[in-house]
Structure 1
Amino acid sequence: MAQIYATLLTLCLLLYIRVQCQSNNKYKCIYQGDDDTYSFYQGGDLVLGGIFPLHSSTIPQFFSFTTKPKLIQYKFFTPRALRWMQTMIFAVREINQRQDLLPNLSLGYHIRDSGDDIPVSVKRSLLLVNGQPEKGSGQSCEDTRKQPSPVIVGEASSGVSMAVLRTLGTFQIPLVSYFASCSCLSNKREFPAFMRTMPSDLFQIKALVKLVYYFKWTWLGVIGVDTDYARFAIQLFLKESEKYNICPAYVHIYPVALTQNTVEELVKILKSSSARVILNFSVDSYLYGVLKECRRQNVTNLQWIASEAWATSKVLWDDFGDLLKGTLGFAIRRADIPHLGSYLRSVSSSVAQTSPFFTEFWEETFHCRLNGSLNTHVHEEASYNWPACNGNETLDDVYTLYSDVSQLRVSYNVYKAVYLIAHALHDMSTCDPGKGPFKNGTCGSLYQILPWQLLYYMKRTNFTTLGEEVRFDKNGDPIASYDLMNWQRESDGSLQLVRVGIYDASFKDDKDLVIDESVIMWHRGDKAPESLCSKSCLPGSRKARQKGKPVCCFDCISCAEGEISNQTDSIDCLTCSKDTWPNQSQDQCIPKTLEFLSFQEPLGIILWVFSALGACAALAVLCVFVMYRTTPVIRGNNIELSFLLLLFLCACFLIGLTFLGKPTDWLCQIRYPAFGISFTLCISCILAKTVVVLMAFRATIPGNNVMKWFGPVKQRSSVILCTCVQALICIIWLTTKPPLASYNSKFLSATIIVECSVGSEVGFWCVLGYIGFLSSLCFFLAFLARKLPDNFNEAKFITFSMLIFFAVWITFIPVYVSSSGKYMVAVHVFAILASAFGLLMCIFAPKCYVVLLKPERNDKKSMMKK
């Protein structure tokens, strides 16, 4: 709608401004507009146009079309904009005084008020580029009108700039903005004649997103006034914030003209949301009503982030300093313009009477009337009672935004815009004929400037002013550089804007934002406030998004066993390698501990103590047998096999020690064959003893000469023969697939089990099976000899020992298979010790009892009794 309105207005203005003027003066210039003659004007070889929002908020009028419309009236006067106007004038005069820049060309200026209103701005920009005849002069146009401007410095608002560009863009008239930041203006297809000294919002948005991400504010409110600037900025912010997983708790656009209902609705949203950080895209004047309602509803705990448009504005501080303390916002770089302050303060009451702009400023600053009359733009009832100015007023005695040069930011942009045009004109003036950039090598003319030629030079101009190198990209945008400003309260209650960081788009992506947190004053407390939908997931856990909610709302779930997360807010957990395991907090993988049955741990100590006791017991029994070897009880049952059996039992007890300690390849290859062979020796001896007992009683039958086959040599040979079979099995096992030490990490635990892998399962079970076969044969023969006279044989004791042996090893097999790690080894050692103790106790304890405790029974007579 605004574009249509601007186009229609353009056509009308072209009809009544562009009057037909001919050289014979037959037609006279008669200005058809209203008395719109308020401006700053100074002629020159080239007149620069300027348009600034000195006023804002037009007062609505009713157009009846039966009477002449009244002059446009406004609610607000902006002293800052007057300073911007004066800065342009100051820059033009400064350039005219220089001899190194445009020495043969004088610049002039024609500056008007845009009223921050699209129709007014379009109309007055057309007046600038067409020139304006004096009211009712009746002279020819060329004799009386102000010089047309081939270039305009303006506008402040992005929306107004767009409307002006759509009008002037047809004529390729350059518009150099000092404050319009909308990224949409970088579209050269739509706005080819636009340049600016104000960075694009695209850079501001990147800076804001990085600021929010820096303080981990992932849940914030985003609001903005209903303008092109705010809409495009919010759209860019939402798109850019997605890259950093920043979520808007709400997005609300409020109208320019706030009503009580709309402002109450907005503040209700602010109050009910859990977001404590609010980003606002607007100018200061549009924020006033929102802050007023926040105070009424006691919404005082918000951390405000200011867009560039109000990041350095001080007009809100007096009324809302308690709400805005700690505000953060990016502002364009400031500069100190030499002598500008004194130039601004040189305005006096006599000077103020020469211009309606100065008159209004003077009256509003000192609350008095010049020449006893009211300014037509002042509408408050109280102003009618102002006294007349006495002429002694001076700007040195009061504070006003007009003369405040402590934060020259937009003013500096105006200054750079004028210098941009001047340097482009200078480059044009140094063009060598025949080597120019235009058709046939021609150069642009300085005395009949074509706007499109000037635009060509402006886009290629780089210069240095006040120590800063000013450069532009292909879109006519300057390289972005911002100061991060913090609103702090001075001891006297006044506002101090403190720079607490910088953002420079020319730096690398990870170094473009620098913040000094130590100098930041927060809205509440000494630390940055939290603004989160969900608190961060600590290392050791991962985020699980809540269904139906933004990505910033999530639950924290601990990592599964064997997994870690070493960053805050990890999305996934990482699986540790097979040699590592999570620490207790599951935030890093640490090397697994090695697990094996050690001599030092309690279980290992118990086993080796019992192994030593068993070996000592076997040796003690052997000593007893040696000491009493001539007695009938000892001699009665094959003393040689008894000695061998005791020695082999001692070896079995000691074999258990090889299962303790850290396994190695050679130890694994010793333990299993040694275990198999030692027990085979024991069972072979017992088998031989059983056969001898059984055959001895068979030999008592007349004519039976069987004992000749079971003499001492044959007995030893049988033991060796049985053992050789086991040795052969072990040799085949060791040569084909021997046992080896292995590091078992397949179990989900914090340890690596160091164990002896049996290598060949067949070999292992063949060793056990052969021992079982010999034991079964021994048990069978002993069972047959159990009823022979007790005093002459050990068959009954051998039977009991074999029963215990079977019970131990039958129990061992399922427990061994179901165990792992050191407990499997412990089961194996326990089976060895238990079976060895069973053999020792069942076979030798009765004899030791008789020899040591019942010596009266250890004689031949007792042995021969039934």
Structure 2
Amino acid sequence: MARLCVTLLTFCLMRNIGVQSQSKRKDMCIYQGEDDIHSFYQGGDVVLGGLFPVHSSPIALISSFRTKPKPTEYKFFTSRALRWMQTMIFAVEEINQRQDLLSNLSLGYHIRDSCDDIPVSVKRSLLLVNGQPERGREGQDCRDTQKQPSPVIVGDAASGISMAVLRTLGSFKIPLVSYFASCSCLSNKRDFPEFMRTMPSDAFQIKALVKLVHYFQWTWVGVIGVESDYARFAIQIFLKESERFNICPAYVHFYPVALVQDAVKKLVDILKSSSATVILNFSGESEMHSILKECRRQNVTHLQWIASEAWATSQALWEDFGDLLMGTLGFAIRRADIPNIGSFLKNVNVPVAQTSHFLSEFWEETFHCRINGSSNTHVHREDVQNWPTCNGSESLDDVYSPYSDVSQLRVSYNVYKAVYLIAHALHDMSTCISGKGPFQNGTCGSLNPILPWQLLYYMKQTNFTTLGEDVRFDNNGDPIASYDLMNWQRGSDGSLQLVRVGFYDASLEEDKDLIIDEPIIMWHRGEKAPESLCSKSCLPGFRKARQKGKPICCFDCIPCAEGEISNQTDSIDCLTCSKETWPNQAQDQCIPKTLEFLSFQEPLGIVLWSVSAVGAFTTLAVLGVFIKYRKTPVIRGNNMELSLLLLFFLSACFLISLTFIGKPTNWLCRIRYPAFGISFALCISCILAKTVVVLMAFRATLPGSDVMKWFGPAQQRSSVILCTCVQALICIIWLTTKPPFASYNTKFMSATLIVECTVGSEVGFWCVLGYIGFLACLCFFLAFLARKLPDNFNEAKFITFSMLIFFAVWITFIPVYVSTRGKYTVAVHVFAILASALGILLCIFAPKCYIVLLKPEKNDKRSMMKK
């Protein structure tokens, strides 16, 4: 660096002294530093500077500081970069031949190798802008051998190198037009006001890459990049943009520019151990070459590569690693067919190659032969000395070379546009009318000498059309971004076929800027796009639950809870169905609930209405028996009128249970409960009257007792009616305040919607049951008192048994009724009605029917009078 600083100061001092001194004395040529004569140079009115990375990957040397260091050697010679150089020369010569552009100025060029190395690039950029005197004899006029200084530089390819050059030349307002530097950081006009480019900013490429990854539902991708500003800024933007689409990096790894074996092995170990199969790499060809070499050594062949634009169209990588890169996807900058450039590039033979160090080296690398006088010392190759001498019969038509391949002119096209950008700016300067210029007092830009800051102003205002493309720049000096999505496919001859399978255009709407023709994509393995997921997608019916301590893309799939659904893949939350709907079996949609009520058609309903019908028929049959044998002692001696009323009301109880079966309606609910309450009140009132009659009958036999006149048939009927009227009054109050009604019960999380009769007033419902219970208790108490009266005239025991059964049924009914739901609640209610009615029927009337029908000999007055 010290030597570099001395060189810089020497150049600046020499130039300043030469400019300030107007004397005619001859400056002595005192050139400091190593000879640096390898370049393409042609003079002109304006000489354009150029920096291109023909060599790359310097081999580190350990210096002892005791001897003069050897010249730096490089691992790779890039014939593709040589094509870029030649494209600049082609564009300059093409412009010089035009009559409509720069007709009064001639362009020249001074092109150097930046070696993809910051110190070399900075040094050679200084040589370009200062001009370099050739080493001459002492006392020779420097102006006789001086290469003209360049007011503008086309270059460099790498973003980091461009930044270093800009920071060095920025103080002199010298513009830099890059053809390949894509880092979004260079759009910062505060730090880099002199920068323009014909390469779109990475900010657009990253958006395209994120949308590409999202399109194929790759949520778990490996992200790697070379240790450079280009990769750092690109990966930073990628991570930020990917959050919008829930894309997670399986890992983010930076590796050094000089990839030593340990670094590349560590990287490939990461690739191998990760579950991510899609890898996004921000690097150049040389770094990618080392990575793929190690991948092959470790047999890591399953990866789907996503290329950044830096190597998205690299033919050289395919030649060595086509099997690993098959199916690679990447965005490439816009291509064009530049007329006549193919013949220009191929216009190289041994005599032409001998005129340029770069061409000589290219010729030797292509044909593996030696050109007389060539040193070929830049590239580190051990077998160079064994190459035969070139015989002159070699031809570029006989071999494939990235240099002469004009099928994918993308970066070359950017170089072409960069030269035309400068040419159009110079044309605008040269045609400016004094007094109408853009500078102070209407002055135009100076053409002799060219002032870089004035040229930069014109460049920023320039719009032009070339090869059918309208070239425009935004306020940051960036072109409008558009990319081709390229797929690496193997041709029939094994060569690389870069197939355009889509495009990205930043000028289109957000949802239409990426178009992909998926059927024509050829994948690395198989016919379908590979999967790259930390966790497989959750199907509808499941929700995602993040795994603790892992990125958002790593999750477990949890089934939706009861009553919830998810109708999308990878749902974060489940949706609760409405009260009237319920999830289907897959839990991916809500369907109407099945209506549930005690139906006549279902087995339980059939059993209940059958029992109800049998009970009613049996009761009516008993009623018939009692009517037929109404004059027999057994029937007459047991209060026939109350017995007939009781049997009639019991048959009503059996039939009223049918109102509890079927789909409830408001009117049915309002009939059901009052009918149940009144019918049972009538039955129990009759039994109560019978019990009182039994007690009164035996007390009437006492001497002087006239109690029976107060409890004759009229009084018995009145007591039944009076007791029933109390229940009827309770029902009327209930119906007029909060009557029962049909409702859909949605409180229970089930697939059925319970149609039920809601009692309306809980107080009214329990008052009806409570009154029936009160009558039953009173009846049981009186029957218990009469239990020891003579048997033949005493029904008290049978009434006691019937009331015990009644209590057992209804006491059991209450907790079961409260604990069940839906149709089973109704079934319990019906069962209680039927069981209690059957209990009364059997306990009170079965003994009498037994005597009447089976023991007629006992159905006489004498048998009735016996104890």
TM-score of the aligned structures, taking structure 2 as reference length: 0.93
Worse overlay, 852-861 or 75-84: 852-861
Are the counterparts in 2 of residues 30 and 136 from structure 1 also a CA contact under 8 Å?
yes
Aligned pair in 2 of structure 1 residues 69, 730: CA closer, same or farther (>3 Å)?
closer
Equivalent AA in structure 2 for residue 851 of structure 1: V
Measure, in 1, the Cα distance between the counterparts of 2:434 and 2:630: 136
**Aligned ranges 1:734-773 → 2 under 5 Å:** 734-773=735-774
**How many angstroms does 1:165 deviate by?**
0.4
Per-residue deviation, residues 408-460 of structure 1 (Å, max 9, x unmatched) = 11111112212222333344456555444333344334454332222223223
Counterpart of 2:528 in 1: which secondary structure?
Answer: coil
Counterpart of 1:195 in 2: which secondary structure?
Answer: strand
The equivalent of 1:27 in structure 2 is 26
Measure, in 1, the Cα distance between the counterparts of 2:418 and 2:370: 35
> Is residue 223 of structure 1 aligned with residue 224 of structure 2?
yes
Equivalent AA in structure 2 for residue 700 of structure 1: T
Are the counterparts in 2 of residues 16 and 31 from structure 1 also a CA contact under 8 Å?
no
Measure, in 1, the Cα distance between the counterparts of 2:511 and 2:268: 36
Measure, in 1, the Cα distance between the counterparts of 2:244 and 2:835: 69
> Is residue 505 of structure 1 aligned with residue 503 of structure 2?
no
The equivalent of 2:40 in structure 1 is 40
Aligned pair in 2 of structure 1 residues 60, 770: CA closer, same or farther (>3 Å)?
closer
Aligned residues: CA RMSD:
2.9
The equivalent of 2:777 in structure 1 is 776
**Aligned ranges 1:200-219 → 2 under 5 Å:** 200-219=201-220
Aligned pair in 2 of structure 1 residues 208, 6: CA closer, same or farther (>3 Å)?
farther
Worse overlay, 169-178 or 547-556: 547-556
Are the counterparts in 2 of residues 374 and 384 from structure 1 also a CA contact under 8 Å?
no
The equivalent of 2:460 in structure 1 is 459
Counterpart of 1:687 in 2: which secondary structure?
Answer: helix
**How many angstroms does 1:626 deviate by?**
2.6
**How many angstroms does 1:401 deviate by?**
0.7
Are the counterparts in 2 of residues 363 and 370 from structure 1 also a CA contact under 8 Å?
yes
Are the counterparts in 2 of residues 791 and 863 from structure 1 also a CA contact under 8 Å?
yes
Are the counterparts in 2 of residues 18 and 130 from structure 1 also a CA contact under 8 Å?
no
**How many angstroms does 1:206 deviate by?**
2.5
Measure, in 1, the Cα distance between the counterparts of 2:569 and 2:351: 67
The equivalent of 1:125 in structure 2 is 125
Are the counterparts in 1 of residues 29 and 141 from structure 2 also a CA contact under 8 Å?
no
Measure, in 2, the Cα distance between the counterparts of 1:464 and 1:728: 101
**How many angstroms does 1:391 deviate by?**
3.4
The equivalent of 2:83 in structure 1 is 83
Per-residue deviation, residues 785-829 of structure 1 (Å, max 9, x unmatched) = 333333334322222211111111111111112222221111111
Equivalent AA in structure 1 for residue 342 of structure 2: G
Per-residue deviation, residues 456-503 of structure 1 (Å, max 9, x unmatched) = 232233333333333333222223222222222233332222223323
Are the counterparts in 1 of residues 740 and 757 from structure 2 also a CA contact under 8 Å?
yes
Measure, in 2, the Cα distance between the counterparts of 1:653 and 1:60: 107
**How many angstroms does 1:376 deviate by?**
5.4
The equivalent of 1:356 in structure 2 is 357
The equivalent of 1:572 in structure 2 is 573
Counterpart of 2:362 in 1: which secondary structure?
Answer: helix
**Aligned ranges 1:374-773 → 2 under 5 Å:** 374-375=375-376, 377=378, 380-428=381-429, 431=432, 433-773=434-774
Aligned pair in 2 of structure 1 residues 106, 662: CA closer, same or farther (>3 Å)?
farther
**How many angstroms does 1:334 deviate by?**
1.9
Equivalent AA in structure 1 for residue 705 of structure 2: N
**Aligned ranges 1:229-378 → 2 under 5 Å:** 229-371=230-372, 374-375=375-376, 377=378
Per-residue deviation, residues 730-784 of structure 1 (Å, max 9, x unmatched) = 1111111111222222223233322222111111111111111111112222222
Equivalent AA in structure 1 for residue 716 of structure 2: Q
Per-residue deviation, residues 582-603 of structure 1 (Å, max 9, x unmatched) = 3333333333333222222221
Measure, in 2, the Cα distance between the counterparts of 1:433 and 1:541: 75
Aligned pair in 2 of structure 1 residues 98, 714: CA closer, same or farther (>3 Å)?
farther
Measure, in 2, the Cα distance between the counterparts of 1:737 and 1:519: 73
Equivalent AA in structure 2 for residue 691 of structure 1: V
Per-residue deviation, residues 696-744 of structure 1 (Å, max 9, x unmatched) = 2333334333222323322222221111111111111111111122222
**How many angstroms does 1:69 deviate by?**
7.8
**How many angstroms does 1:196 deviate by?**
1.0
Worse overlay, 680-689 or 239-248: 239-248
Equivalent AA in structure 1 for residue 8 of structure 2: T
Counterpart of 1:393 in 2: which secondary structure?
Answer: coil
Measure, in 1, the Cα distance between the counterparts of 2:479 and 2:401: 30
Aligned pair in 2 of structure 1 residues 437, 676: CA closer, same or farther (>3 Å)?
farther
Are the counterparts in 1 of residues 688 and 775 from structure 2 also a CA contact under 8 Å?
yes
Measure, in 2, the Cα distance between the counterparts of 1:650 and 1:91: 113
Aligned pair in 2 of structure 1 residues 294, 7: CA closer, same or farther (>3 Å)?
same
Equivalent AA in structure 2 for residue 78 of structure 1: T
**Aligned ranges 1:84-99 → 2 under 5 Å:** 84-99=84-99
Aligned residue-pair number: 864
Are the counterparts in 2 of residues 19 and 29 from structure 1 also a CA contact under 8 Å?
no
Are the counterparts in 2 of residues 16 and 32 from structure 1 also a CA contact under 8 Å?
no
Aligned pair in 2 of structure 1 residues 257, 59: CA closer, same or farther (>3 Å)?
closer
Measure, in 1, the Cα distance between the counterparts of 2:465 and 2:628: 115
Worse overlay, 248-257 or 662-671: 248-257
- In the alignment, structure 1 segments of 5+ residues that lack a partner are none
Are the counterparts in 1 of residues 151 and 175 from structure 2 also a CA contact under 8 Å?
yes
Equivalent AA in structure 2 for residue 559 of structure 1: C
Equivalent AA in structure 1 for residue 23 of structure 2: N
Per-residue deviation, residues 101-128 of structure 1 (Å, max 9, x unmatched) = 4444443333222222222222222232
Are the counterparts in 2 of residues 331 and 482 from structure 1 also a CA contact under 8 Å?
yes
Measure, in 2, the Cα distance between the counterparts of 1:615 and 1:824: 22
Measure, in 1, the Cα distance between the counterparts of 2:573 and 2:297: 46
Aligned pair in 2 of structure 1 residues 61, 695: CA closer, same or farther (>3 Å)?
closer
Are the counterparts in 2 of residues 801 and 838 from structure 1 also a CA contact under 8 Å?
yes
**How many angstroms does 1:658 deviate by?**
1.4
Are the counterparts in 2 of residues 9 and 119 from structure 1 also a CA contact under 8 Å?
no
**How many angstroms does 1:264 deviate by?**
2.8
Are the counterparts in 1 of residues 595 and 752 from structure 2 also a CA contact under 8 Å?
yes
Are the counterparts in 1 of residues 542 and 559 from structure 2 also a CA contact under 8 Å?
yes
Are the counterparts in 1 of residues 76 and 286 from structure 2 also a CA contact under 8 Å?
no
Equivalent AA in structure 1 for residue 198 of structure 2: T
Counterpart of 2:848 in 1: which secondary structure?
Answer: helix
Worse overlay, 429-438 or 287-296: 429-438
Worse overlay, 607-616 or 260-269: 260-269
Measure, in 2, the Cα distance between the counterparts of 1:71 and 1:295: 32
Aligned pair in 2 of structure 1 residues 59, 659: CA closer, same or farther (>3 Å)?
closer
Counterpart of 2:627 in 1: which secondary structure?
Answer: helix
Aligned pair in 2 of structure 1 residues 447, 667: CA closer, same or farther (>3 Å)?
farther
Measure, in 2, the Cα distance between the counterparts of 1:62 and 1:275: 39
Aligned pair in 2 of structure 1 residues 373, 252: CA closer, same or farther (>3 Å)?
closer
The equivalent of 1:179 in structure 2 is 180
Counterpart of 1:790 in 2: which secondary structure?
Answer: coil
In the alignment, which of 8, 11, 19 is matched to residue 10 of structure 1? 8
The equivalent of 1:54 in structure 2 is 54
Are the counterparts in 1 of residues 56 and 286 from structure 2 also a CA contact under 8 Å?
no
Measure, in 2, the Cα distance between the counterparts of 1:42 and 1:712: 142
Measure, in 2, the Cα distance between the counterparts of 1:862 and 1:429: 148
**How many angstroms does 1:74 deviate by?**
4.2
Are the counterparts in 2 of residues 433 and 442 from structure 1 also a CA contact under 8 Å?
yes
The equivalent of 2:829 in structure 1 is 828
Equivalent AA in structure 2 for residue 756 of structure 1: C
- In the alignment, structure 2 segments of 5+ residues that lack a partner are none
Counterpart of 2:754 in 1: which secondary structure?
Answer: strand
Measure, in 2, the Cα distance between the counterparts of 1:636 and 1:288: 119
Aligned pair in 2 of structure 1 residues 147, 285: CA closer, same or farther (>3 Å)?
same
Measure, in 2, the Cα distance between the counterparts of 1:435 and 1:658: 104
